[in-house]
Structure formats: C-alpha cells, structure tokens
Structure 1
Amino acid sequence: MTVFADTLFAAMAAHGDAPAIERQGATLTHGDLLRRSETRALELKGEGVGAFRPCPVLVDNSPVDLIELLAVYRADGVAVPIHRATPRARIEELVARLVPDPMLHGASTIVFTSGTTGAPKAAVLSAERQAAKLQMIRRETGWQDGRRTLLALQLTFSFGQWVTWLTLLSGGTLVFPEKLSVDAVAAVLARRDVDRLPAVPTLLRGLLDRPETAALPGWAGAVMAGGEVLPAGLGAKIRGAWPGVGIGDIYGLTETGTCDFFVDPPEYDAASGSLGRPGGDIETRIAEDGELQIRSPYGMVGYLRDPQRTAEAFDDDGYFRTGDLAQLRDDGRVTLVGRAKDLINRGGMKVAPLEVEAVLAAHPDVAGALVAGVPDPQSGEAVIAVITAAPGREPVPERVLAWAGERLERYKLPSRLKVVEALPTGATGKGDRGAVGRLFIEPV
C-alpha cells in the first residue's frame, strides 16, 4: 500500500471498536469499515485494479462510498470520485480520460476540478503529499481525537475528502445526514450531539434559516467554513445564533493540497473577513496584478495528460496561480477581493462581486447575496444580484439598494436586484454566479 493507505488502515485497525460511521441510527465501527474495505479490495484486484491504475468511483455521500474509496486505496489503485448525479455522457467523457500514465506513479487520488468553463481539469494528488497534508492540517487546526463530525460535504470535493480521512485517522465518527440537503443536515445538527460542522457558507446560511437550527444556544461545537469566502456578516450572524460555537475558516485549492490559510476560532473576531494565517511550510505572495499565489510542498503532481495547463498553472518560481485577487489588510492578514475571471467591467470600472455581496448581505433583512455581471449594450457589463431573505424578514429590493448606495460607489450598485428563495449553487454546494443571470429570465 502507499503511505496514504497505510496511514488510514493502520488508524482503523488501532481504533477497532470505536464508531466510525453513523447514519440514521445504524453504526459501523472502525474495525467493520476496515474489514469491509479489505474484502472489497480483493474483489477490485480480481477486476484488474492494480498499482496506480485510475479507478472511477461513483459517489453520492453514503457510507458505501467510503468503503469503495478505501478499497481502491487498499488495492493500490488511484481513486477518482465522480458524483452519481453526473450526466452519463459526462461520466463517459471523464472515464475515457482515465488511462495509465507515468504521472500516476505514486498517486492516490484524482480530483476533477469544478471549473465553470471548458472540460474539468484532472488534478493528480500524490499519496505521500496527501498523507503529509493530513498531518499538517491536524497540527494547524488542533484537530482532536475521537470527535463526531457531521459530514455535510460532497466527497467529490477536496474539502469533503480531507475532513473524512482526518476524522477516521483521529478515531472519530462520521455522522451522515439522511441526504445532503439543508433540511437533512439541520435535522442532525438540531440534536446538538456532533462536535464539528465543516461546511460551505451557502449551507450555513440555509441552516440559519431553518427553525430548528436558527438558534442553538446549547451547542458548544465547532464550525469550520471553507470552499468559498465566509463573509464577516455571516460569521457575526452565526456568532449570535450559536453563541457557544467556535468559528474557524480555511482557504485552499485542490491544486495546492487544500487548507493553505487558517482562521483559528480564538482569533475569529479579529481575523473575520480575512484568510487568516498561512499554514506551516506554505509560502504565499500577492503578485503585481493582485493575484494571490501559493507555493506548497503538498500540491498536486499536475493535471493528468495536460502538460500545457499544468505549466500555465505555475510560474517560474513554482508558485501556483490561484486566480484569486487579494489585498493585504492593515493588520497584515490577506483578504480576497474576488476571482480575476469574475471581475465585472462596467464601463471601464472594475467591480468585485465579493465586495458587493458583503455589503448586500450585511443588510438586516438579507441572509445572503450573489452578484454577477451580464452583457450590457451601454456599459459593456451590468451588475446584477440576487438576495435571500433573513428569517422572518421581507427585503424590499429598492430599500436594500438605497441602503447599499450609502456604502458603495454608484458604479458598483446592481442595476437589477431580485429576491429568491435560495441562492443558486454548483455541484459542491458553493454559490454559482454563472446561474444568477438565468434567475432574471421570465418564464414564457
């Protein structure tokens, strides 16, 4: 086995009778999970899975998915998680790209990035680096052993993967909701018997909007936000609704091995709205054009069978080009301005969606906001936005815009604002700006 598989299977053996998976009252111990994974690994070897061969695994966030992924690692294969809801034609297209390649020697996982344009890139993760990154995250977060993690993340998502493996590595329990939905996650969280909730901010907004989780005064767990920016306003709402909770935040990319910056719960109030501090061995810088760049010993090997995009992803010094625009705050912490590709050019003036979203979401009647640019014959691009209502409130677009106009330059104000029931999200649960324009199209 690779060092990554060795680490996971040794941990499961050591934690034996401790619960590893819980779902709707049913429990599997670490020993159960180990034995079932080893049995399935023997079957996979009989089917031809071998050393560093890519093996697609269809997942939909159920315990059997973990058994299948672990079995691939135990059989020395390279696990490639693909969501079951992916259209068949796209699955066939992705699988066709999974052929043996020298880049896969020493690899453990291939993660297809969730780009909004072009074919997804297949990021190849090294087994040695993946194992080392888990230990790094464990140190940086003070991840405690034997705790219960509410798994409210996609297993196709790097965030969901490392949370899963680190929980097993530390002898903890993965608590699965009935399905990956706000209502199902809220039903589990309302019991207040989990220790950690790693989640994307979009899900956290939804939980604050549910009656059973709008207030959790008796819960003393930890929220770990990631996958997208946690706005300071949303963090403040979590602090008010769940007063006993510690709030942490992480930032990283699949290509850099995830988790490059950390906002520690004790420092949350001072660091909110920023990326916090870089983790150990992580080097960062802001380029002249404002792009955040990261050099990490835990990063990907490259994009499978795509040397051109692999080369373009790094500069001559080995820094990964994140595509995120960043600034240094007065306290020395880094804050994101937005994605370079998301910047809106309104008559020559640049508008960062993140800035506008933060202002809109700070309105007392608003739970969340998503901003995008759409073609406009007069200005080149127009700024549009959708918002969701805070619990018990009914935001009036004209009043929200007037309020925002006191806090933003005029050219940054949305020309159209619409209240929607839920912000559009992509496959990993993050906000999908590309879908905002479609919400303004009236049905015929």
Structure 2
Amino acid sequence: MQVVFTDGSPASVAALDEALCSALDGGETLLPLDPRSPRAESLREAMAPGEPVEPDTAVIIPTSGSTGEAKGVLLSASALLASARATHARLGGPGRWLLATPANYVGGLQVLTRAQLAGCPPTTLDIAGGFRPDAFVAATDELLGAPGPHSEGPYYTALVPTQLARLLAAGPDAVHAAAAYDAIVLGGARLDDELARRAADAGVRAVSSYGMSETASGCVYDGFPLEGVSVRLGDGDRIELSGATLSHGYRMRPDLTAHAFTADGWLRTSDVGSFHDDGALVVLGRVDDMLNTGGVKVPAAGVEAALTAHPEVRAACVVALPDPEWGQRIAAVIVPEPREPGPAQPAAGDEAPGDRTGRAQPRDDLDEQLRALVRERLGRAAVPKLLRQLPELPLIGPGKVDRAAVRAVFDD
C-alpha cells in the first residue's frame, strides 16, 4: 500500500495523480490522506498499511463517517473507471477537468481519474490555503487556454455547493468563469433549489450529483442514475444502489461489509428517498436525520430546503434534540446572507454581540420570517423550536456539515 499525502497544492496533487495512474494500471494500492487533518495519522494506522490488501483494490478511501469510526472504502480500478466513463457519457463526452476540491476525497480523486481517461492532465486549483474565487478565475483561464487534447472542450469541474455559492456572489468575473464550463458537478452536500435557480439564471450548468465513497463518487445525476447504475428503495424507503461503480467492501471489516452490501450486489445506504412521478430520485436525508416530533416524521432536508428558500439565508442545518414531551424537537442553525452596515448594524471591524462566541449578529425579524415560511411549506410540526444564527456552518470534509457540532451549539 502506498500512502500519499496531499494538501491541495499542485505539487502534492501531481504526486497523487502519478500514484493513481499506477494504481489504476495494476500497481500498488493507493491510500490518499491530507496531512493537515488532525486525524491523518490515526486514519493511516487504522488502514494498517503494513498488512496485505484485499484483492482487486486500487484505492482505499478512508472515512470517519458520522460516528467517528474509521473505515476504509475499497475501490477497484474497474469501479473507478466505470464511474469516470459513465460521468463523461452523461455530461457530453471526455473533456478537460479543473480539480477544485480535495483530492484525498473520492470526488476530487475521480476528477483525476476522469482526466486520465480523457488523456489530458487536469488543471489544479491550489486550495492549500482555502478556496478563493479569484484563484478559480485564474485557474479557469489556464484551463481554457491549455493546448493539447480537448483544447476546444468540453470543460468540466466539480465543486461543493458552498464553493458555487461563493462564485455566484463574488462578482461578474467569477460568474463568467463558472459559466464557461459545460458542466459543474455539485456533490458533497445537497444542492438546494434556490442555489440551483441562481446558477441557472447566471448561465451556469450545475449538475446535482448523489453518491458516496462506496459508489466511487456521484452515481445519480440530477435525480437519474448513470449508465450501469440501478436505484431502488428498500425497507423504510432506504436508498439502495447497485452497478459497476460499487465498492467491494471495507478495509479489514468483513462485519461492516456484510451489513452494508447485500449478497446480490446492492449497497444499503444511510439515506432515505422517494421518486418523483418522472422517476427522478429525491434524497430526503439520512436515516438518522429523519426527525420524529410528537409522532410526526419530518425530513431534516425538507426543513433545510424551506429555510434556504428565504433570500436572506445562505445555508442551514437542521437537527433533532431530545425532548421529554415531543420525543424530539427541531433545532436549526442558519447562516444569514451578509448585510451592508447600516445605522442599526456595526460597521466592519466593530465587535457585534456574540462575536466572541462565533455567533452571527442575531436578527429576530428573520427568525420569525423563517418560522412562518417553514409553517407555510411543511406544516406546524416542522417549524424549528430553536433557531441560531452562525457566520458559517461547521464542516467535516468537503461541503459536509458536522451535525454533531451543530447539536453542540444548543448545549449552552
């Protein structure tokens, strides 16, 4: 097993890309890690790099999941390549890719795989110091001007919704750069309706993807499975997936493998879903994110969608807290869109109430508007009993909200 550390810098990505090329060609199994992560060393140890690797494993994607337990997702070269081919087939054929997300996660790693399959190296956005719209603009210019195969496109990139939102808010240069792509694949978190509408209005082709490490990245695009992928709903409307892109299990954990993968080749996900009349899959949220308050089941994702439909809300996360009367009570954290300083607002650099605790300037009027909006869309049971405003949502991984940290916000 070859352990490769990548911090998002172009040099480290190039080293990872070389190791991936070897792994896809039958070489040593690749284990990508981010050296900046406080769990990098514990994840490396949990993957037991000195022990024999399970057969037919090209890449191991380590994940801590929502429970914090380290797992290593085993991916074959055939699964990674099947995913890359199916993605190109859906988007419009092989093309040039911009890598703009961490390559140690499956979404970024698949950008490298797709670029290799297309026969032209990816352009790498340096995200070692974080994502910056101006750097995205410069990287896009580099991608569009690079000679070689597919120099006329198509052009693709993959982002998380937070990155797309920042581009759309950054001004005309960033919006123009985003609109230059034939497709921007959105993963890592749900693409809410309001952000999708803003992207479409700006001429940006945003493609919502659903998938996970166990499916070699996104395998359902805009609600419909990629070629070779099948979707069904199991017990309790749990989403189940099958096809050539599936992982073949977890590193040294046959118990977890048997629990997640059926004998006839289906993956039991941790998500609940439904189907539109046109057959499109709707992801309602994780099984453990289905809220039960007073005997009424409420999907957390539905409440989040209602909250982010308000034009002054950039992001939202909804969780359940124990309640002796209702069983669970709904609590929500929102990130308001920034406002221009006015007479009743502190100017930039002044300390607002709650700054030292990391909370945003409270807006009582906004809280009441949001409660009314949720009540109108989803009914009284779905209205959050607690609302907090933060400058940003706590994240774990690219675009994934740390729900445990969100719950901790309500501990004080």
- TM-score, normalised relative to structure 1: 0.76
Contact 1:55 1:78 in 2 (8 A): yes
Q: Note the C-alpha offset of 1:366.
A: 1.5
Change (3 A) 1:402 1:214: farther
**Per the alignment, in what secondary structure is the counterpart of residue 377 of structure 2?**
coil
Cα distance in 2, alignment partners of residues 172 and 139 from structure 1: 19
The aligned residue for residue 268 of structure 2 is 321
CA 1:60–1:108 in 2, change beyond 3 Å: closer, same or farther? Answer: same
Q: How does 1:2-401 map to 2 (within 5 A)?
A: 54-73=1-20, 74=22, 76-87=27-38, 91-92=41-42, 94-99=44-49, 104-145=54-95, 147-149=96-98, 151-170=99-118, 171-177=120-126, 179=128, 181-182=130-131, 184-189=132-137, 193=141, 195-211=155-171, 215-216=175-176, 219-221=179-181, 222-240=183-201, 242-243=202-203, 245-263=204-222, 275=223, 277-390=224-337, 392=339, 396-401=366-371
CA distance 1:333–1:83, shift in 2 (3 Å): same
Higher alpha-carbon deviation: 294-303 or 375-384: 375-384
Q: Secondary structure at the match of 1:300?
A: coil
| CA gap 1:225/1:180 in 2 versus in 1, 3 angstroms | farther
Q: 1:162: Cα distance to partner?
A: 0.5
Give the residue type in structure 2 aligned to 1:280: E
Give the distance between the partners of 1:389 and 1:209, measured in 2 at CA. 14
C-alpha separation between the residues in 2 aligned to 1:237 and 1:337?
22
Q: Distance in 2 between the 1:204 and 1:437 partners?
A: 26
Amino acid corresponding to residue 85 of structure 2 in structure 1: Q
Which residue identity is paired with 2:213?
Answer: T
Question: 2: CA distance between counterparts of 1:61 and 1:143?
Answer: 27
Q: 1:330 to 1:71 in 2, by over 3 A?
A: closer
Count of matched residue pairs: 371
In structure 1, give the amino acid aligned to 2:29: V
Cα distance in structure 1, aligned partners of 2:274 and 2:172: 38
Verify the 8 A CA contact 2:97 2:157 in the aligned structure 1: no
- Which ranges in structure 1 are unaligned for 5 or more consecutive residues? 1-53, 264-274
**Residue aligning to 1:438:** 408
Match of 1:413 in 2: 383
1:17 equivalent in structure 2:
none
Equivalent-residue separation in structure 2 for 1:385 and 1:57 (angstroms): 38
> For 1:392 and 1:215, how far apart are their aligned partners in 2?
21
Describe the SS at the equivalent of 1:156: coil
What is the SS of the residue equivalent to 2:247? coil
The verdict on how the C-alpha distance between 1:402 and 1:133 changes in structure 2, with shifts beyond 3 A counting, is: closer
Cα distance in 2 between the residues matched to 1:65 and 1:214? 26
2:137–2:174 contact (8 Å) kept in structure 1: no
Deviation of 1:353 (Å): 0.8
Q: Give the counterpart letter for 2:249 in structure 1.
A: G
Instruction: Tell me, yes or no, if the aligned pair for 1:202 and 1:430 is still in contact at 8 Å.
Output: no
- Checking the alignment, whether the CA contact within 8 Å between 1:337 and 1:355 is kept in structure 2 is yes
Q: 1: CA distance between counterparts of 2:18 and 2:370?
A: 52
Structure 2: gaps spanning 5 or more residues: 144-154, 341-362
Deviations 1:106-162 (A, max 9, x none): 3211001240214221111112332333223222222443x351x221112111110
Partner Cα distance (2:47, 2:238) in 1: 31
CA distance in 2, matches of 1:187, 1:216: 13
Q: Structure 1 residues 178 and 289 mapped into 2: Cα distance closer, same or farther (>3 Å)?
A: closer
Partner residue, 1:404 = 374
Give the superposition deviation at 1:187. 3.6
How far is 1:174 from its partner? 1.4
Secondary structure in 1 matching 2:58? strand
Aligned-partner Cα distance in 2 for 1:70–1:166: 11
TM-score in terms of structure 2 length: 0.82
Contact 1:285–1:294, Cα closer than 8 Å, also in 2 = yes
Task: From the superposition, tell whether residues 367 and 70 of structure 1 become closer, same or farther in structure 2 (CA, over 3 Å).
Answer: closer
Change (3 A) 1:399 1:214: farther
Q: What is the percentage of aligned positions where both structures have the same residue?
A: 30
CA contact (8 A) 2:62 2:71 kept: yes
Letter in 1 for 2:198: K
- Structure 1, 72-81 or 93-102: larger mean CA deviation: 93-102
Deviation digits for residues 217-264 of structure 1, max 9, x if unmatched? 994323211122212221002222x22x2221222221122232123x
